[in-house]
Chains A and B, each alone.
Chain A
Amino acid sequence: MIAVRNLSVTYRTAARSVQAVTDVSLDLPKGSITAIVGESGGGKSSLVYGILRLLPPQAKVSGSIIYDGTDILSAKESWLRDFRWKKAALVTQGAMNSLTPVLTVGYQIGEVLRIRLGLSRKEADKRTAELLGMTNLSPEYAKRYPHELSGGQKQRVVIAMAVACSPELLIADEPTSALDVITQAEVAATLLDMVREKGMGLLLVSHDLPLAASLCENLAVMHKGRIVETGPPEKILGSPSHPHTKELLSAFSLIGGPG
């Protein structure tokens, strides 16, 4: 379990400082599916990147994020490197620039297996093919470069890479945002399959409230750096208490979204 306690994140530039996250506390029990929703710039990403301690150097962070008795925010570099990807892995927007452009897909998945799990090149190749198959990609995609793949295919590769070390928690930051609606549904289904099959926890970050609610067991609504509402999705969708939740919901019903 990962416990976020009184987390605040402030970005300081020469001109001004912006508080992205204010006093957030959140529990992520092992194997649970949690979704954080909210508008863009609401502090969602700052919160989840804090869990992997991947915030930029100009971010000032206070509070604590405890995993197994260790505070991730003050842990030693070696502990942190071991924690990353083996305990918590990241799924970013694959359609954007998440894959290194000059390395093949197979190399990039295999690199994780070789470096982090100590697999031989041969074992890594075999496992890479399996991982691609699990995300509904043909193993021959291993030889391809990212620019030869569609947005949905790249997203699948990013997912395959994230589950390579069977982490306890998968952090997915807008994993379907840059995709068309049909691909979105397929990728979301793949993601959910993987999580259920391997008993991994999922922390989903999205601005798409109906999609997030349909996937998660626990929903947190974030607004202006604070978590303003939290609970099971049925309860929040049925009787939203915070104005921002209502806003998010009405935005989707207005355009006849998948609600």
Chain B
Amino acid sequence: MRSYWIRRAIGAAAVLLLVIAANFFLFRIMPGDVVSSIVDPRFSPEAKERMREVFGLDQPLLRQFVIYVRRMLTFDFGISFLSQRPIWDELRSRVPNTIALLGSALLISSALGTWLGVQAARKRGGITEKVVLISGSISFSFPSFFVQLVLLLFLAYTLPVFPLRGSVSIPVPQGAIDRMLDYIWHLLLPAGSLVLLGFGSWAIYVRNLMVKTLGEDFILLARAKGFSESRVLWNHAFRSALPPILTIFLLALPGIVSGAVITETVFSLHGVGKYLLDSIMGHDYPAAGAAFYILGLLTIISNLAADAAYAIADPRIKVGRRAGM
């Protein structure tokens, strides 16, 4: 069990370093020189050189990288090229919004999809199965930005039930409860659209998994024991199907990054994904790198959490002495 966690921790650390390295080098091989993008082209070459020194861009690449890694680990992201403000100050207020959006969307869509999948597997050829399979296929075949724009158009513009943009109303409502309700009201459409787009693949995957599990011998035996149908379904079938479901949960986590960028941009939310896109557009690579890093960090942390859940759900993993390991 301990060796399992040591292996997971080393893996997470390696991924983190890879994210940092990718950030560092990718933004440096992108076209467009920063200095020329933030200073007037009429500046003298000496003045440009001074700018490069100020930002540390005159140092050797490897030295820049070492400094970069240290700063990432201490959340010292430096000053934004664009706003000239500390990047962490700008990001800090956005992280909770991104976690609220993606966390609620991921949890609700996986929970809803899983529940629908189980109900669909209950009776083969039943009406529930057909409805789930069809709605599930529709759910995951639409491109997210399209659905989100349509929802925005009809539910925020034509029929102004939801706000058109932003994470809070301006002016911000008084009182903690009013502020929270206002926040949820702004979150409903973006998070709801992600649930609408995300539940389908869960439902279909879980349904297929449950159909297979319900055909196993131990299910027949659980029925023979005179257990209630719900005990057979949840305590034996679903419990056994849980490890592979968690695997898919793990695989879905990297989708966080693209989900954040597209959804936050469409709904103009004050989040890390929107910040990432704005920074890239402005060649503000310290800021873009920091945003990328934060999204990467969120993915790695949720990955570890899912790993922990997996270890609890699947007893076979705890033993950790598989052949050849």
Residues of chain A touching chain B, judged by Cβ–Cβ distance below 8 Å, are 52, 54, 57, 80-86, 89-90, 92-93, 96-104, 111-112, 115-116, 145, 147-148, 158, 161
- Complex interface: chain B residues within 8 A of A92 (CB): 217, 220-221
- Complex interface: chain B residues within 8 A of A82 (CB): 226
- Complex interface: chain A residues within 8 A of B224 (CB): 52, 54, 84-85, 89-90
Name the 7 nearest CB pairs between A and B, nearest first. A84-B226, A90-B224, A97-B217, A145-B315, A81-B226, A85-B226, A100-B218
Question: Quick check: is B240 within 8 A (CB to CB) of the other chain?
Answer: yes
Are A81 and B228 neighbours in the complex by a CB distance under 8 Å? yes
- Nearest Cβ on chain B to A128's Cβ, whole angstroms: 14
CA A86 to CA B313, docked complex, whole Å:
31
Question: Quick check: is B242 within 8 A (CB to CB) of the other chain?
Answer: yes
Q: Given contacts A99-B221, A115-B231, could you give 20 more A-B pairs where the C-beta distance is less than 8 Å?
A: A52-B224, A54-B223, A83-B226, A84-B224, A84-B226, A85-B226, A89-B224, A89-B225, A90-B224, A92-B220, A97-B217, A98-B217, A98-B218, A101-B240, A101-B316, A102-B239, A102-B243, A111-B227, A116-B225, A147-B316
Are A97 and B216 neighbours in the complex by a CB distance under 8 Å? yes
What are 7 A-B contacts defined by CB distance under 8 Å?
Answer: A80-B226, A90-B224, A93-B217, A98-B218, A99-B221, A112-B225, A148-B319
- Complex interface: chain B residues within 8 A of A103 (CB): 236, 239
| Nearest chain A residue, comparing its CB with the CB of B223 | A54
Are B223 and A96 neighbours in the complex by a CB distance under 8 Å? no
Are B315 and A102 neighbours in the complex by a CB distance under 8 Å? yes
Chain A CB within 10 Å, residue with most, of B221, B240, B313: B221
Chain B 291-325, CB-CB to A under 8 Å as 1, else 0, gives 00000000000000000000001111001000000
Are A102 and B218 neighbours in the complex by a CB distance under 8 Å? no
Question: Quick check: is B12 within 8 A (CB to CB) of the other chain?
Answer: no
Chain B 198-237, CB-CB to A under 8 Å as 1, else 0, gives 0000000000000000001110111111111001000110
- Complex interface: chain A residues within 8 A of B221 (CB): 90, 92, 98-99, 158
- Complex interface: chain A residues within 8 A of B216 (CB): 97
Are A85 and B225 neighbours in the complex by a CB distance under 8 Å? yes
- Complex interface: chain B residues within 8 A of A96 (CB): 217
CA A197 to CA B260, docked complex, whole Å:
67
Are A84 and B218 neighbours in the complex by a CB distance under 8 Å? no
| Nearest chain B residue, comparing its CB with the CB of A116 | B226
Are A99 and B218 neighbours in the complex by a CB distance under 8 Å? yes
Chain A CB within 10 Å, residue with most, of B218, B222, B243, B313: B218
Interface size on B, residues (CB 8 A): 25
CA A101 to CA B313, docked complex, whole Å:
11
CA A85 to CA B162, docked complex, whole Å:
56
- Nearest Cβ on chain A to B314's Cβ, whole angstroms: 6
- Complex interface: chain B residues within 8 A of A81 (CB): 226-228
- Complex interface: chain B residues within 8 A of A85 (CB): 224-226
| Nearest chain B residue, comparing its CB with the CB of A104 | B315
Are B218 and A97 neighbours in the complex by a CB distance under 8 Å? yes
CA A80 to CA B226, docked complex, whole Å:
8
CA A103 to CA B223, docked complex, whole Å:
16
CA A126 to CA B71, docked complex, whole Å:
58
- CB contact between A115 and one of B217, B223, B227 (< 8 Å): that residue: B227
CA A148 to CA B316, docked complex, whole Å:
9
Interface residues of B in 233-291 (CB under 8 A from A): 235-236, 239-240, 242-243
- Complex interface: chain A residues within 8 A of B228 (CB): 81
CA A104 to CA B217, docked complex, whole Å:
17
| Nearest chain A residue, comparing its CB with the CB of B236 | A100
Are B239 and A100 neighbours in the complex by a CB distance under 8 Å? yes
CA A104 to CA B235, docked complex, whole Å:
13
- Complex interface: chain B residues within 8 A of A90 (CB): 221, 224
- Nearest Cβ on chain B to A191's Cβ, whole angstroms: 16
Are B316 and A145 neighbours in the complex by a CB distance under 8 Å? yes
- Nearest Cβ on chain A to B304's Cβ, whole angstroms: 21
- Complex interface: chain A residues within 8 A of B226 (CB): 80-86, 116
- Nearest Cβ on chain A to B57's Cβ, whole angstroms: 55
Interface residues of B in 5-45 (CB under 8 A from A): none
- Complex interface: chain A residues within 8 A of B217 (CB): 92-93, 96-98
- Complex interface: chain B residues within 8 A of A89 (CB): 224-225
CA A201 to CA B217, docked complex, whole Å:
23
CA A229 to CA B262, docked complex, whole Å:
73
CA A83 to CA B225, docked complex, whole Å:
9
Are B243 and A54 neighbours in the complex by a CB distance under 8 Å? no
- CB contact between B222 and one of A100, A104, A148 (< 8 Å): that residue: A100
CA A145 to CA B226, docked complex, whole Å:
22
- Complex interface: chain A residues within 8 A of B315 (CB): 101-102, 104, 145, 147
- Complex interface: chain A residues within 8 A of B227 (CB): 81, 111, 115
CA A82 to CA B315, docked complex, whole Å:
31
CA A84 to CA B228, docked complex, whole Å:
11
- CB contact between B240 and one of A57, A102, A104, A111 (< 8 Å): that residue: A102
- Complex interface: chain B residues within 8 A of A148 (CB): 319
- Complex interface: chain A residues within 8 A of B124 (CB): 57
- Nearest Cβ on chain B to A176's Cβ, whole angstroms: 16
